[in-house]
Chains A and B, each alone.
Chain A
Amino acid sequence: MNALRKIVDKVKPHFEKGGKLEKFHSVFDGFETFLFVPNTTSKHGTHIHDAIDSKRTMVMVIIALIPALLFGMYNTGYQHFLAIGQQVSFWETFIFGALAVLPLIVVAYAVGLGIEFIVAQIKGHEIQEGFLVSGMLIPLIVPVDTPLWMVGIATAFAVVFAKEVFGGTGMNIFNVALVTRAFLFFAYPTYMSGDVVWVRTSDTFGLGAGNVVDAYSGATPLGQVATAATTDVQLVNIIKEPISFIDGFLGLIPGSVGETSTLAILIGAVLLLVTRIASWKTMFSVFAGGALMAWIFNVAGPDTAAAHFPWYNHLVFGGFAFGAVFMATDPVTSARTETGKWIYGALIGAMAIIIRVLNPGYPEGMMLAILLLNIFAPLIDHYVVEANIKRRLKRAKTN
């Protein structure tokens, strides 16, 4: 550790003002604070500080995403070998999936952090850690077969136009990862929906070559519901075997990389709640709002398959759970008042189900529901704040 510190101290002057590598000051600072806790002491104000900082906060979210990521890797391999009808070992399955998912992660991080570094240097501020989370979320919410160049372009668009133009992490209105997803969704719709993108049927770096079996169909469960001819739909997996609630909960079904396993997501949710990084109010109310809305459709909805899709299934299929746990709880873009969080979460849940059921074009509604409520979060907060202001005014008058 001392040796490492000595090296850092030795190169540090080059990056300071007037040094020959001054242009990379922000990058150097980013790496230095990544290695060592900054030793700057308080100049005024409180003399001691809580040991939490934004690095640790963001890293906790990434750790919470790891179960969903690992499961997503395994599931990518599982779906592939199921599609081509081959029986392979656990590790072969996992490695196939890992190799398929890793390029997405690399591209998302390289593009996003690249832009982050450049902007930090231009503005002369420290590198903000927010993208560490966004960069991990992006690969988990896209279909595995999304072309890498698309991921790159969408990430660049989202980081620049959804974050940096607003002033960086903490200032953004929209969830950066969801803007990436929305950009892909509207710019390249054929790659983001339908039934060919969710399962990798080709080989990955030469691994797992083979032809798909005859019974294969790559539609996601929600896709099947949206296109069903009858109101009573029997969900099937990609080789036409029937599946039910428990399959949706465990997650060996087609879908975006990280969204399929509600179980893996809930493990992450536990970590986020124990560390109190995510608000339990938001998370709970998304599930509650979604369940209630879906139940209302079950009881009194129109005569479609989507409306008759049992309310509990709505919570485990598609991106509902992932959105509720990792996206809706983003503190920056969600409602910031405690009362507001209840309203914000419940509306996301309800809106996601409304889009799923009533919009024939989109089988999934979570992404749009969260983005929509991102817009409304400040309005919700506004009314909570106004209530506080009114209370204060009333107090002044009565006295």
Chain B
Amino acid sequence: MANLIKTTRGLDIAISGAADKILHSFVLSDVVAIVPDHYHAITPKVLVKEGDIIEAGSPVFYNKVCESMKFVSPVSGKVLAVNRGERRKVLNITIERDKEIAYKKFKAANPDSLSGEEIKDLILSAGLWPYIKQRPYDVIANPDIAPKAIFISAFDSAPLAPSSEFVLSKQMDDFQTGLNALSKLTAGKVHLGLRKVTKLYEGLKNVELNYYQGPHPIGNVGVQINKVNPVNKGEVVWTIHAHDVLFIGRLFNKGIVDLKRKLAITGPEVTSPAYYETITGCQIDKLVLGKVTSNVTHRYISGNVLTGLKVTGKSYLDPYATQITVIKEGNDVHELFGWAMPRFNKFSTSGTYFTQIMQKLFGVKHFEFDARVMGGKRAIIMSGEYDKVLPMDILPEFLIKAMITGNIDKMEALGAYEIAPEDVALCEFVCTSKLPLQQIVRSSLDLMRKELE
């Protein structure tokens, strides 16, 4: 392994419910919805109206700020409604899907024979651009500014995350085509982050392989960028999830927008966690009903337990979700004197609990989790907590303080360009003072973007 990067900083949370490597057949609700709020920092302008018949790949709305950026329907069918909320804000666009998906035809082409511009235009018009994000600011990439490199993490180290090897297997053709297309979009390299040498990734072309060892968040692309080619002021790096590269590959191989993905349904409250093939926009109930334990209040999470969105059964699967996690809500639990009890079943990085002893001496693999915050919000008291779970050359506590005080110069100097909310998710998990760090980072990045762009 030529480019091996190791770290010990981070944390693997011992939670049960990882998906077995079994793929169940295709699941999709009869009504599918596209929710503009799932895409951060765009202003939607709707192109369809009630009753329109559309195909998979037909544009449904575009971004007013960047008109070439289209957002397309994942299925074919009839537009049921464009639901609007206060001040005519678009809440979602619901589509009654056809039994058989009819695809809008795009020009299938070998990316090697196309120029970067042509590839970019095709991805934009096919509505796959929103899958490409950028650092700084962790937003959908600005197509007008070429990145110095593109980073893809081929493994997800988050709790109960799906196995990329399992998802990508049998689709390596599409994956390679996707990589070929992406490599045309940058003058720099396309970096693919891997956990270990695997046969599956042997022979991949147009890509630089880097290997990483360590606990979560080593699989986060932000950490990998920081280790390999950090984002400096004025520079842009693009990122895309490995599973989403498949969509781009299919577009070039087959000329269609095929958003089918292998979604992992995971978590301690799922009776038999496994993979299901589905499409973004599917109603959550369709995916989880009958697959979860009974007699408890559940929390459905679109994504993983650290960074996912809180959803209900009536919500729709967001485009970036590669897994659904179900845990207990826990709002009916009243633990007496919890602060003084040994609480052997609780997971903590702090030495005030027996987590490590239970793990090392008694071989306990899983602890009990629910959605409780388990403490009151305080000012930052303990020091050094965040550093232990953020393996970047960044002083997270000082960056967060600069963000809380809205000091943009300080944020810039302390590395805000390199960070995304997901990178501080573990910091938020371990925080004794229970501060909403991801929210702080998100709103600060938005503030920076507004002030500096």
Contact B230 A395 (CB under 8 A): yes
Chain A at the B interface: SS class: loop
Most chain B C-beta atoms within 10 Å of own C-beta, residue among A56, A128, A393, A399: A56
A41→B329 contact, CB < 8 A: yes
State whether B393 touches A388 (Cβ < 8 A): yes
Complex interface: stretch among B103-111, B250-258, B302-310: B302-310
Say yes or no: is A215 at the interface (Cβ < 8 Å to chain B): no
Complex Cα spacing A143 to B230, Å: 56
Of B232, B369, B425, which is within 8 A of A396 by CB?
B232
Any A CB within 8 A of the CB of B370: yes
Cα–Cα distance between A396 and B418 once the two chains are bound (Å)? 12
Q: Does A207 contact B (CB under 8 A)?
A: no
Per-position contact with B for A121-152: 1 when CB-CB < 8 Å, else 0? Answer: 00000101010000000000000000000000
Q: Is A36 an interface residue (CB 8 A)?
A: yes
Residues of B within 8 A of A47 (CB): 299, 301, 305-306, 308, 310, 325, 327, 371
Which of chain A's residues has its CB closest to B428's CB? A46
How many residues of B sit at the interface, in one of the four size bands? 35 or more
CB nearest to B379 among chain A residues: A170
Q: State A381–B395 Cα separation when bound (angstroms).
A: 11
- Of the candidate stretches A82-90, A95-103, A182-190, A332-340, the one touching chain B is A332-340
Taking a contact as CB atoms closer than 8 A, the residue among B307, B374, B428 that contacts A37 in the complex is B374
**Interface 9-mer from B49-57, B68-76, B190-198, B429-437:** B429-437
A334 touches B307 (CB 8 A): no
B378/A51 in contact, CB under 8 A: no
- Nearest-Cβ distance from residue B11 to partner chain A, whole angstroms: 9
B352 to chain A, nearest CB (A): 5
Query: From A44, which residue of chain B is reached at the shortest CB distance?
Result: B439
Cβ of B96 within 8 Å of any chain A Cβ, yes or no, is no
| B348 near A399: Cβ-Cβ < 8 Å | no
When the two chains form their complex, are residues A48 and B337 in contact, meaning their CB atoms are under 8 A apart?
Answer: no
Looking at the complex, which one of A49, A336, A388 makes contact with B374 (CB distance below 8 Å)? Answer: A49
Is B346 a contact of A51 with CB atoms below 8 Å? yes
In the complex, which of the residues A46, A53, A128, A334 has the most CB atoms of chain B within 10 Å of its own CB atom?
A: A46
Task: Name the contact of B433 in the complex, choosing from A40, A54, A338 (C-beta under 8 A).
Answer: A54
Would you give the shortest CB distance from B391 to chain A, in whole angstroms? 14
| A51 CA / B428 CA spacing, docked (Å) | 12
A33–B350 touching, CB < 8 Å: no
Asked if B6 lies at the interface with its beta carbon under 8 angstroms from chain A, I say no
Closest residue of chain B to A36 (Cβ to Cβ) is B334
Main secondary structure of the interface of B (DSSP, over half): loop
Q: Given the complex of chains A and B, what is the CA–CA distance between A259 and B339 in angstroms?
A: 28
A336 and B397 in contact, given A52-B350, A52-B432 (Cβ under 8 angstroms): yes
On chain B, the residues within 8 Å of A385 by CB distance are 395, 398, 414
Nearest CB of A to B146, in Å: 16
Question: Which of chain B's residues has its CB closest to A2's CB?
Answer: B334
Q: Mark B285-314, 1 if CB is under 8 A from A, else 0.
A: 000000000000001010001111010000
B320 at the interface (CB under 8 A from A): no
With the chains together, A15 CA to B87 CA distance in Å? 37
Instruction: Please give the distance in Å from B311's CB to the nearest CB on chain A.
Output: 11
From residue B114, how far is it (CB to closest CB) to chain A in Å?
A: 30
> Which of these, B232, B343, B351, contacts A51 with CB under 8 Å?
B343
Q: Do A50 and B379 touch across chains, with their CB atoms under 8 A apart?
A: no
B339 touches A56 (CB 8 A): yes
| CB-CB nearest in chain A for B338 | A37
| CB contact between B414 and one of A46, A59, A388 (< 8 Å): that residue | A388
Assuming the A-B contacts A275-B352, A277-B351, are A389 and B413 also in contact, with contact meaning beta carbons closer than 8 angstroms in the complex?
yes
Contact B376 A60 (CB under 8 A): no
Contact of A38 with B by CB under 8 A: yes
Instruction: Tell me whether B329 and A169 are in contact (CB under 8 A).
Output: no
A46 partner, pick from B333, B347, B382, B429, beta carbons under 8 A: B429
Question: In the complex, A388→B414 CA distance in Å?
Answer: 7
Cβ of A1 and Cβ of B379 under 8 Å apart? no
Q: Say yes or no: is B179 at the interface (Cβ < 8 Å to chain A).
A: no
Are B393 and A391 in contact, with the CB atoms below 8 A? yes
Measured CA separation A341–B350 after assembly (Å): 19
Asked if residues B377 and A126 are in contact (CB atoms below 8 Å), the reply is: yes
Cα–Cα, bound, A127→B375 (Å): 12
Chain A 272-315: CB-based contact to B (< 8 A → 1; otherwise 0): 00111101000000000000000000000000000000000000
B340 part of interface (Cβ distance < 8 Å): yes
Q: Which residues of B contact A36 (CB under 8 A)?
A: 334-336, 338
B356-386: CB near A (< 8 Å → 1, else 0) gives: 0000000000000111111111111111100
Is the beta-carbon distance between B378 and A49 smaller than 8 angstroms?
Answer: no
B153 within 8 A of A: no
What CA separation (Å) do A202 and B307 show in the bound complex?
A: 64
Say yes or no: is B415 at the interface (Cβ < 8 Å to chain A). Answer: yes
| A57 interface residue per 8 A CB criterion | yes
- B-chain residues with CB within 8 Å of residue A37 when the two chains form the complex: 333-335, 338-339, 372, 374-375
A interface vs B, CB < 8 Å? 1, 4-5, 33-57, 59-60, 126, 128, 130, 167-171, 274-277, 279, 331-332, 334-338, 381, 384-385, 388-389, 391-393, 395-396, 399
Supply 23 A–B pairs (Cβ within 8 Å), ascending by A: A35-B337, A41-B331, A43-B310, A44-B310, A44-B438, A45-B438, A47-B301, A47-B325, A48-B370, A48-B371, A49-B372, A52-B375, A52-B430, A52-B432, A54-B376, A60-B352, A128-B378, A279-B383, A331-B383, A337-B395, A384-B395, A388-B395, A389-B413
Beyond known contacts A42-B373, A47-B325, A48-B370: 7 more, CB 8 A cutoff: A36-B335, A37-B339, A37-B375, A57-B382, A59-B340, A275-B350, A391-B393
